[in-house]
Amino acid sequence: MSDRLTRRPRRSWSDVAFSVWGILVMLFLFAPILVIIVSSFNVGRLLVSWDHFGFDSFLALLAKPAIRDAVWISVQTGFIAALVATVLGTLAGIAMSRNPGKWVWWFLGLLLLVSVTPEIVDAVALLPWMVFLGQDLGMSLFNDGIVRLVIGHSLFSVAVVSYLVRARLVGQEANLEEASADLYATPPRTFAKVTLPLAMPAVLAGFLLSFTLSLDNTVIAAFVSVSGSTPWPVYVLSALRSGLRPEIAAVSTVMLVLTLIALGLVAYVLRRAGDSAADIARTMGGG
Amino acid sequence: MRRRSPGFLLALPAWAWLLVFFIAPVGMVVWFSFGYKPSIFATQATDRLSFDRYAEVLDPTFFATFLNTLWVGVAGTVLCFLIGLPVAYWMAVKAPPSRRGLLVALVMVPFWTNFLVRTIGWQVILSPDGWLSSALQVIGFEPLAILNTRGAVLLGVVYNYLPLMILPLFVAFDRVNGPLREASKDLGAGKWATFFRVTLPLAQPGVIAGVLLVFIPLMGDYITATVLGGAKGNMVGQLVASQFQTAQNWALGSAMAVVLIFVILLSAAIGAGIVWLVTLPFRARNRLVIGPPAPVPSAPAPGSGPAATSASIREEVGA
C-alpha cells in the first residue's frame, strides 16, 4: 500500500515531463508558421521589420498582377497534376490489389525509387529531359509551362495515390467484385459500380494530398518552370533574392488556409471511412 | 479469371508515365555524368565518355561540401530522433486517447504547410534585426548571429523534417501500445526495461521508416540551406542546382547528383550496419524472451494491428 502511495507521484512526474516536452515541441513546430501569419498583418516595406498593423498586404493578391498570376498558375497546376496523379495512381492501385503477382513487386520497387529519390535529382533530371523532348525532338507540348509543371509535380503524387488505393483495397476482399461478375455485370460495369466506390475514400484522399503536394512543390518547379508561368513558390524563391515583403506572408497565409481546408477534407473523408488517428497519420505521413 | 489480363493492364499508364518522366530523365543524367562541358556556350557533350567528372567531384572544394552535407544529414537525423521519440511516445501512450486525433493533426499541419514558407518563418525569427534578437538584446545578450551559418541550417532541417520522424514513430508506438506492455510490466519488468526490451524493439519498423524518411530528403535538401545557410552553410543540393542553373555545366552537375545518390545509399547501409552491431547483444538476450511467432493477443484495433505486431516479432526473432 505504501509502495503505491510513493509510486503515484513519481509516475505523474514523468507524465508531466512528457507532456511539457510534447507541448514545447508543438510550439517549436508552430513558431515559424505563427510568425508568418502575424507578419501578414504587417504594413511596411520589409517582412522582417514590423511597422504597424493593417490588412494592406492582403490587397496585393488582388492588386499585383505578378502575384495574382503566380497563385493562379499554382492552383491550375495543382488541380491538373492532382487529376493526372489520381487517375494513374488509382488504376495502378486497383491493378496491384486485384491482380497480384510478381509484377507488383517490380512496380512497388519503382514507386519506392520515385519516393526516395531526392527532389533535387528529379528536378535536375527533368530540366534537360524537357529540353530534349521539347527542342531536340520538336514536341512543342513540352515547352508549355503548365505541362512541364504538371509532369514534375505528378511523379511523387502518382506513387502516393497508388500506395493509398492499394492499401485500401488490399484490406477488402474481392467478394463483391466476384458477386458482381456472377450477376452478369460486364467488367467495366463492375469496375465503375463496385471497385471504384470501394476505393473512393483513398481516391479522394489521394487527390487532395496530390493537390497540396503540387501547391507546395518548390524544387522541381524552380527547375522546370518557364518564364510566363511562374508558380507561387518559385515567385517566393525569387523574391528571397530581391527582398521579402509582407505580401509574401499574406499570400502564404491565404495558401495555408487553402491547404488546411484540403487537409481537413482528407481527414473527414478518412474518418468517415472508419480510419483511426493512427491510420490517418500513416496515410498522410506519406504512405 | 476472365478479368485477370485486362486488370493487369490498368497499371500500364502509370508504368509508362513513370518510365518516360522518371526513369528516362534520371537515366539521361547518369549518361551525362560521363560526358564533359565542351565550351562556354554548351552545357554538355557525350561524344567522349570518361570518369573525369567523378574525379572532379572528389576535388577538395566540392568534397568539403559533401562532408558538410553528410555532417548536417547525420546530426539532423540524430537530433530529429532524440527530439521526436519522446513526442511520439507521449502522443501514442501517455496522452489521453481522445486527444490523439488532435495531436496528430497538430503535427500534420506544419508538415503540410509550404516548406519554403516555414523556412522563411525561421529566417524572420533568426534575423539579427528581428524581434527575438531585439528581445535578447534587451535582456543583455548579443544580437543573434546564427543566420547564414551551419547552425541555422541544422536548426532548419531539424525543424523541417521533424514531423517525418514523429509520424511513423507515432504509428509504430500506437501499434505496440496495450497488452504486450502490460504483460511485460506484470512479469516484473520496470518502466525502462519495458521500453527498451518490448516497446522499442517492436517499434523498430517505425524507427527505420522515420530515420530513412528524414535522412534521405535531408541529404538532398536545397531550400533550407538556400534560405538559412548563406555562403557558409552550403549543401550538395545547392551545388548540383548551381551547376545546372548558373554554371551551366550539366555534365559535372549530373556527376554530383549521381554521387549524392551513392553517398545516401552508402551512409544508409553503413548506418544499418552500425545499428545491427550495436543491438546485437540486446537481440541475443531478447530472442529467448519473445519466442516463436504465436498468435499474439492484441488490442481490438481494426485493420493491420495484430498482423503487423506478430510480423515484427517474427523479424525480431529472425534477425
Q: List, for residues B224-267, the tens digit of each pLDDT value.
A: 988 898 766 688 888 898 888 888 888 999 999 999 999 988 99
A114 contacts on B by Cβ (under 8 Å): 18, 22
Q: Which residues of chain B lie closer than 8 angstroms to A29, CB-CB?
A: 106-107, 110, 159, 162-163
Cell 527547375 locates to: A223
Which has the minimum average pLDDT: A19-28, B72-81, B205-214, B226-235? B226-235
Higher pLDDT among residues B7 and B94, named by residue: B94
- The dihedral through the CA atoms of B201, B205, B206, B209 has a sign that is positive
Residue B203 in contact with residue B169, Cβ under 8 Å?
yes
- Under an 8 A CB cutoff, do A110 and B15 touch? yes
Rounded CA gap, A133 and A142, in Å? 6
B80 touching A, CB under 8 A? no
Question: What is the structure's pLDDT at A3?
Answer: 47
- Using CB atoms within 10 Å of the CB of residue A125, give its burial: 0 to 12 exposed, 13 to 18 middle, 19+ buried: buried
The whole-model pTM stands at 0.82
Q: Name the region of B116 (left: φ>0; alpha: ψ -120 to 50; beta: rest).
A: alpha
Q: Does residue A285 surpass a pLDDT of 70?
A: no
| A41, HSE (Cβ side, Cα atoms, 13 Å) | 6
C-alpha cell at B110: 506544419
Question: Chains A, B: CB contacts under 8 A, how many?
Answer: 285
Please judge whether A33 and B121 are an interchain contact, meaning their C-beta atoms are less than 8 angstroms apart. Answer: yes
| Chain B CB contacts of A91 below 8 Å | 10-11, 13-14
- Of the listed ranges A8-12, A249-253, B94-98, B234-238, the least confidently predicted one is A8-12
**Can you give the pLDDT at residue B300?**
43
* Lowest-confidence region among A106-120, B94-108, B282-296: B282-296
- What pLDDT is attached to residue B317? 38
Task: Classify the C-alpha dihedral A115-A121-A123-A126 as positive or negative.
Answer: negative
DSSP chain B: -TTHHHHHHTTHHHHHHHIIIIIHHHHHHHHHTTSB--SSS-S-B-SS--SHHHHHHTSHHHHHHHHHHHHHHHHHHHHHHHHHHHHHHIIIIIS-GGGHHHHHHHHHHHHHS-HHHHHHHHHHHH-TTSHHHHHHHHHTPPPP--TTSHHHHHHHHHHHHHHHHHHHHHHHHHHHTTHHHHHHHHTT--HHHHIIIIIHHHTHHHHHHHHHHHHHHHHT--HHIIIIITTTS--HHHHHHHHHHTS--HHHHHHHHHHHHHHHHHHHHHHHHHHHHHTHHHHHHHHHHH-S---------STTHHHHHHHHHHHHHH-
Q: Report pLDDT digits (tens) over B31-57.
A: 999 988 888 777 888 888 888 888 888
Pick from A116, A126, A121: which is nearest to B257 by CA?
A121
Residue B36 has φ and ψ, to the nearest 5°, of -155, 170
Mean local confidence (pLDDT), A211-230: 89
In eight-state DSSP terms, residue A194 is: I
Residues A18, B84 contacting (CB under 8 angstroms):
no
Q: Is the pLDDT of residue B297 over 60?
A: no
Q: What is the pLDDT of residues B118-170, one digit of tens each?
A: 999 998 888 887 778 878 888 877 777 788 888 899 999 999 999 989 988 98
pLDDT band for position B185 (50/70/90)? confident
Give the pLDDT score at B275: 83
- A155, B22: Cβ pair inside 8 Å? yes
Contacts of B227 in chain A (CB under 8 A): 240
Low-confidence winner among A81-85, B68-72, B188-192 (lowest mean pLDDT)? B188-192
Specify the amino acid at residue B74. V
Average pLDDT over residues A250-267: 85
Report the pLDDT value the prediction gives residue B1, as an integer from 0 to 100: 42
Encode pLDDT of A131-187 as tens digits: 889 888 888 888 888 999 999 999 999 998 998 888 888 877 677 788 888 888 888
Residue B30, pLDDT > 80, answer yes
Residues 6+ apart with CB under 8 A from B266: none
- Rounded to the nearest 10 degrees, the angle between the axes of helix A277-284 and helix A246-272 is 130
Average pLDDT, chain A: 84
A7 band by pLDDT with thresholds 50, 70 and 90 = very low
Element (H, E) at A203: helix A196-216
What is the share, in percent, of chain B residues with pLDDT greater than 70?
86
Please tell me the predicted confidence (pLDDT) of residue B309.
Answer: 41
Q: Are residues B112 and A21, on separate chains, in Cβ contact within 8 Å? A: no
**Bridge partner residues of A52 (DSSP):** A43
DSSP-derived secondary structure for B121-188: HHHHHH-TTSHHHHHHHHHTPPPP--TTSHHHHHHHHHHHHHHHHHHHHHHHHHHHTTHHHHHHHHTT
Question: For residue A271, what pLDDT band results from cuts at 50, 70 and 90?
Answer: confident
Q: Do B130 and A87 touch (CB under 8 A)?
A: no
Q: Angle at CA A106, nearest 5°, toward A186 and A282?
A: 85
User: pLDDT band for position B312 (50/70/90)?
Assistant: very low
Q: What DSSP letter does each residue of A107-164 carry, written as one string?
A: HHHHHHHHHHS-HHHHHHHHHHHHHIIIIIS--GGGG-HHHHHHHHHHHHHHHHHHHH
User: Is it the case that residue A1 has pLDDT exceeding 60?
Assistant: no
- Indicate yes or no: CB of B90 within 8 angstroms of CB of A48: no
On the CB side of B188, CA atoms within 13 Å amount to 0
Instruction: Please report the pLDDT score of residue B233 as a whole number.
Output: 66
Cell numbers given for A255:
495558401
The SS3 of residue A85 is helix
Q: How far apart are CA A267 and CA B257, in angstroms?
A: 37
pLDDT mean across residues, chain B: 81
Q: How many CA atoms lie within 13 A of B25 on its CB side?
A: 28
The pLDDT tens digits for A195-216 are 888 888 889 888 988 998 898 8
